[in-house]
DNA sequence: AACTTGTCCAACCGCACTGAA
DNA sequence: CTTCAGTGCGGTTGGACAAGT
């Protein structure tokens, strides 16, 4: 590959002027070297790690390679509908804070989410002649895009149910899985998956956080948050209720590291986010896993398929867009 | 078949922040 | 207080590949 050979202007990375640093794509040998070294010595101290491991790479490059690609818990493959929905919601709250958004999509890297946003979302904004940060486009996402995502999730869930029923080894899910989004206007939007994997959407007051909810709060409406990045700090991770929280339970306003661990072990219930994001939990629901992947196949195209995505912007939607002030020349 | 255009995403850069010396 | 190495983050680039002409 004829990768560019840019001069390294970053002082922090010129840790060895005499050693020619490699750039560009990583080789299999380099990957193995890095993996083995981290397996034996752990990660961190990336510059010294790179030297000690004998890698002719900057520490920064090693860190990036590890975090974005080699880490065992990196989840690869298409962004699922649920993840798309979550990305849209979280981006509405935080904007381009990719690393923060990525914290709530286990296995996904900030780079991956960023790429998704740039290649999918911004593209559609461009098609609509909207600025991606404009109120018009945000309204479009909220009133058109996200509801349609929910519809598709619901439709796919129905497919799951049908398919599962048709087989003898249908899953015996009993856990109600839900995501509760706390909006900026002190309301909540709950996406509930019932026992039959039907999805219901409820709007309500911020205080109506119920059991089995997967909740997070935006800084503006978090009663206990202490900074602009704060989350609901009450512990939704009470296993007795199978709650899952993406908010933290500390004062650092960072999510709990165990937020996607299996909840409610006493009855084998698994959180919704486990179902959709945790590779380890995928195996518990093989049917769901299969169908979440199938959502991204051409038979259910939407965002991933530009040719059919255009169908989404039908006359009705375009009329609504115009009413919202988007889709025309009003940038 | 050849060329062009579009999409995806790994990898890079610059900057900001943090903590140790 | 200042300096600096280490780290993390967001923005950008460009190669590989697919789709279209």
pLDDT digits (tens, 9 = 90+) for A49-102: 888 888 888 888 888 888 888 888 787 777 888 888 888 888 877 778 888 888
Instruction: Evaluate if the CB of A159 falls below 7 Å from strand C.
Output: no
Residue A13 has a pLDDT of 39
pLDDT category at A202 given cuts 50, 70, 90 is low
Which strands make up the sheet holding A177-182, listed edge to edge? A199-205, A187-193, A177-182, A214-216, A244-245
Distance A329 CA to C3 C1' (A): 52
Instruction: Evaluate if the CB of A114 falls below 7 Å from strand C.
Output: yes
pLDDT over 90, % of chain A: 0
> What mean pLDDT is predicted for residues A237-242?
30
pLDDT over 70, % of chain A: 42
Query: Three-state SS for A11?
Result: helix
Tokens of A145: 């895009």
Question: Which strand B nucleotides have any atom less than 7 A from protein CB atoms?
Answer: 6-16
**How does pLDDT run across A134-184, given as a tens digit for each residue?**
777 777 777 887 888 888 888 877 776 665 554 433 333 333 345 454 444
d(CA A194, CA A177): 7
Angle, CA of A244, A193 and A97, to the nearest 5°: 50
Where would I find the beta strands (DSSP E) of chain A?
A: 177-182, 187-193, 199-205, 214-216, 244-245
Select the more confidently predicted residue: A188 or A6: A188
Residue A163 has a pLDDT of 58
Instruction: Evaluate if the CB of A7 falls below 7 Å from strand C.
Output: no
Q: Which CATH architecture has domain A17-70?
A: Orthogonal Bundle (1.10)
Question: Which strand C nucleotides have any atom less than 7 A from protein CB atoms?
Answer: 5-16, 19-20
Q: Which long-range contacts (CB under 8 A, 24 or more apart) does A95-104 make?
A: A95/A133, A100/A229, A103/A246, A103/A254, A103/A255, A104/A216, A104/A246, A104/A255, A104/A259
Select the more confidently predicted residue: A313 or A239: A313
Select the more confidently predicted residue: A87 or A123: A87
Query: Three-state SS for A177?
Result: strand
Distance A45 CA to B19 C1' (A): 13
List, by residue range, all CATH 1.10.10.60 domains of chain A.
Answer: 17-70
Distance A279 CA to C6 C1' (A): 31
Residue A326 has a pLDDT of 52
Which residues on neighbouring strands pair with residue A193, listed in sequence order? A177, A199
pLDDT category at A2 given cuts 50, 70, 90 is very low
**How does pLDDT run across A259-277, given as a tens digit for each residue?**
333 232 333 333 333 333 3
The listed range with the strongest mean pLDDT (A5-9, A18-22, A123-127, A213-217) is: A123-127
Q: Which residue has its C-alpha nearest to nucleotide C16's C1'?
A: A1
Residue A259's φ and ψ, nearest 5 degrees, are -70, -15
Cβ atoms A206, A182 nearer than 8 A: yes
Distance A20 CA to C11 C1' (A): 26
Q: Which residue has its C-alpha nearest to nucleotide C11's C1'?
A: A114
pLDDT category at A302 given cuts 50, 70, 90 is very low
Query: Cβ of A190: how many Cβ atoms within 10 Å?
Result: 20
Computed over every residue of chain A, the mean pLDDT equals 56
Instruction: Evaluate if the CB of A98 falls below 7 Å from strand C.
Output: yes
The listed range with the strongest mean pLDDT (A106-110, A199-203, A206-210) is: A106-110
CA proximity to A174, closest of A55, A275, A247, A90: A275
Return chain A residues 36..75 having CB < 7 Å to nucleic acid strand C: 44-49, 59-60, 63
The listed range with the strongest mean pLDDT (A40-54, A147-161, A212-226, A242-256) is: A40-54
**How does pLDDT run across A218-233, given as a tens digit for each residue?**
222 332 222 223 222 2
The listed range with the strongest mean pLDDT (A37-41, A133-137, A140-144, A315-319) is: A37-41
Residue A19 has a pLDDT of 55
Strand B surroundings (CB within 7 A): A 6-10, 12-13, 22-26, 57-58, 60-61, 64-65, 68-69, 78, 111-112, 114-116, 118-120, 123, 304, 306
Enter the DSSP assignment of A241: G
Distance A76 CA to C14 C1' (A): 22
For the ranges A50-54, A68-72, A190-194, A309-313, which has the lowest average pLDDT?
A309-313
């Amino acid at each position: 590959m004829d990768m560019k050979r840019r001069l390294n202007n970053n002082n922090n990375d010129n840790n060895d002027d005499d050693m020619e640093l490699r750039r560009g794509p990583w080789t299999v040998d380099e990957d193995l070297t890095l993996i083995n070294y981290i397996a034996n010595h752990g990660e961190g101290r990336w510059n010294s790690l790179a030297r000690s491991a004998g890698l002719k790479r900057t520490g920064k490059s090693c860190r990036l390679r590890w975090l974005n690609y080699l880490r065992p818990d990196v989840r690869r493959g298409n962004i699922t509908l649920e993840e798309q929905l979550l990305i849209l919601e979280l981006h509405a709250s935080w904007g381009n804070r990719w690393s923060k958004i990525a914290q709530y999509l286990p296995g996904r890297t900030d780079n991956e989410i960023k790429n998704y946003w740039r290649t999918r979302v911004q593209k559609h904004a461009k098609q609509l002649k909207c600025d991606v940060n404009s109120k018009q486009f945000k309204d479009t996402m909220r009133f058109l895009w996200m509801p349609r995502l929910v519809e598709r999730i619901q439709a796919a869930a129905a497919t799951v149910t049908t398919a599962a029923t048709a087989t003898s080894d249908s899953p015996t899910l009993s856990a109600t899985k839900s995501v509760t989004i706390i909006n900026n206007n002190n309301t909540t939007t709950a996406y509930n998956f019932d026992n039959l994997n039907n999805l219901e959407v409820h709007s309500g007051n911020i205080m109506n956080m119920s059991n089995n909810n997967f909740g997070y709060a935006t800084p503006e409406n978090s009663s206990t948050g202490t900074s602009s990045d704060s989350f609901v700090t009450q512990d939704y991770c009470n296993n007795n209720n199978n709650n899952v929280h993406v908010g933290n339970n500390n004062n650092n306003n960072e999510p709990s590291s165990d937020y996607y661990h299996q909840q409610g072990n006493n009855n084998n219930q698994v959180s919704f986010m486990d179902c959709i994001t945790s590779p380890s939990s995928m195996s518990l629901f093989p049917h769901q896993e299969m169908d979440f992947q199938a959502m991204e196949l051409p038979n259910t195209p939407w965002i991933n398929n530009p040719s059919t995505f255009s169908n989404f912007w039908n006359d009705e939607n375009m009329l609504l867009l115009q009413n919202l002030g988007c889709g025309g020349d009003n940038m």
